[in-house]
């Protein structure tokens, strides 16, 4: 079913069970819309915006994101109203089971998942609403329309080969570098050149003491105001050719420079390089993706019908802007 895959990797992403009226849990926020007499508040919409952000659905302007979030919450109410009519709405136990699966997929439990959501400004209640609506709608599709999606193994093979051979999934050589800065005060007079020369001498002293990236701080002993940056990782293919060539020549544990920077003198240490291969999807993930895509056709067809029959009243004119 679609719900199983929708959130399996979401956390890498208003509490109720079967009762759409719980959508009104808006902490006193203004009602934007009523759907079949059930209110949707600005709080509900804001929560969906944050959930969408966790799921990576951040296309368009902030206004566009809010419109999509509002429509999604409206659809949730419509789905649950319809499911309740046919006694297809899920209970707490069913929702809890799905939440547990999602948490497990994120290597945590329900409490851990709730903490992750809270850290991003989203509530477990908003997620439960989303899960409940999708479970209810899947039940309706299966029971009322006898939807049964089958995927040909050959179709899975074709899509799998297409994805795993995508150039964007090829290994990337990452260079790890460390910037060492020696600031020079901008005096704006004849002393400036002398200060720069003095710092160049400090840089030469630092180079002699440097014995690899793990010694970066120790090498600064006795030298005034040396700033050791954080280790940075850069795609070797995107590094400027002169810098890449200099790093390769210096070798792992080597150091290049000194060179002039905007703030004074800079050295760059080469901590090493490694090959990183992006994770490739499993055949099961590909099959689930294709199943969801075909499921979407039936879902949208059914939703168009339900929206036509729903009574939607906008209480706030700005909600449609």
pLDDT 10s digits, 132-186? 998 999 888 887 767 667 788 888 888 888 887 887 778 889 999 999 999 988 7
Q: Is the pLDDT confidence value at 295 over 50?
A: yes
Could you tell me where the DSSP H helices lie in the chain? 2-6, 42-54, 62-85, 92-105, 110-119, 124-144, 153-164, 191-209, 241-250, 283-309
> Coil, strand, or helix at residue 284?
helix
Average pLDDT of the chain is 83
* % of residues, the chain, pLDDT over 70: 87
Q: What is the DSSP string of 305-316?
A: HHHHHS-EEES-
> Residues 236-246: what's their mean pLDDT?
91
Candidates 215, 242, 238, 217; CA nearest to 228 is 217
Q: Is the pLDDT confidence value at 95 over 90?
A: yes
What pLDDT is attached to residue 30?
A: 85
Which stretch of 55-69, 78-92, 263-277 has the lowest confidence by average pLDDT?
A: 55-69
What pLDDT is attached to residue 321?
A: 63
Give the C-alpha separation, 121 to 123, whole Å.
7
Q: What is the longest distance spanned by two Cα atoms in the chain?
A: 86
The answer to whether the predicted template modeling score (pTM) of the entire model surpasses 0.75 is no
Give the C-alpha separation, 22 to 40, whole Å.
10
pLDDT 10s digits, 209-224? 999 999 999 999 999 9
In order of start, what are the domains of the chain with their CATH numbers?
Answer: 2-158+279-320 (1.10.4030.10), 171-276 (3.10.50)
Q: Which residues pair with 259 in a beta bridge?
A: 266
| 222 vs 56, higher pLDDT | 222
Give the C-alpha separation, 299 to 310, whole Å.
16
Which range of 3-17, 42-56, 208-222, 280-294 scores highest in mean pLDDT? It is 208-222
């Amino acid at each position: 079913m679609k719900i199983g895959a929708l959130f399996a990797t979401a956390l890498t992403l208003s509490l109720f069970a079967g009762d759409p009226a719980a959508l009104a849990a808006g902490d006193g926020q203004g009602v934007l819309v009523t759907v079949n007499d059930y209110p949707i508040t600005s709080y509900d919409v804001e929560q969906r915006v944050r959930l969408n952000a966790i799921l990576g659905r951040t296309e368009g302007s902030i206004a566009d994101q809010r419109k999509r979030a509002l429509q999604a919450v409206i659809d949730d109410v419509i789905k649950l109203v319809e499911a309740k009519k046919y006694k297809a709405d899920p209970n707490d136990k069913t929702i809890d089971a799905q939440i547990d699966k999602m948490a497990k997929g994120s290597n945590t439990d329900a409490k851990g998942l709730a903490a992750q959501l809270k850290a991003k400004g989203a509530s477990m209640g908003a997620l439960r609403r989303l899960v409940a609506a999708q479970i209810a709608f899947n039940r309706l599709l299966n029971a009322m329309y006898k939807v049964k999606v089958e995927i040909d193994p050959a179709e899975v093979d074709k899509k799998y080969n297409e994805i795993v051979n995508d150039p964007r999934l090829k290994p990337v050589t990452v260079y790890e570098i460390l910037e060492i800065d020696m600031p020079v005060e901008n005096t704006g007079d004849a002393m400036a050149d002398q200060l720069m020369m003095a710092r160049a001498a400090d840089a030469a002293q630092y180079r002699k003491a440097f014995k690899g990236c793990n010694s970066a701080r120790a090498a600064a002993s006795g030298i005034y105001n040396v700033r050791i940056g954080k280790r940075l990782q850069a795609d070797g293919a995107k590094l400027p050719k002169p810098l890449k060539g200099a790093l390769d020549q210096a070798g792992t544990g080597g150091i290049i420079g000194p060179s002039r920077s905007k703030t004074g003198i800079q050295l760059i240490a080469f901590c090493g390089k490694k090959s990183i291969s992006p994770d490739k999807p499993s055949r099961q993930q590909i099959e689930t993706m294709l199943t969801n895509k075909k499921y979407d056709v039936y879902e949208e067809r059914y939703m168009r019908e339900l929206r036509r029959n729903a009574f939607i009243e906008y209480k706030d004119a700005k909600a449609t802007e």
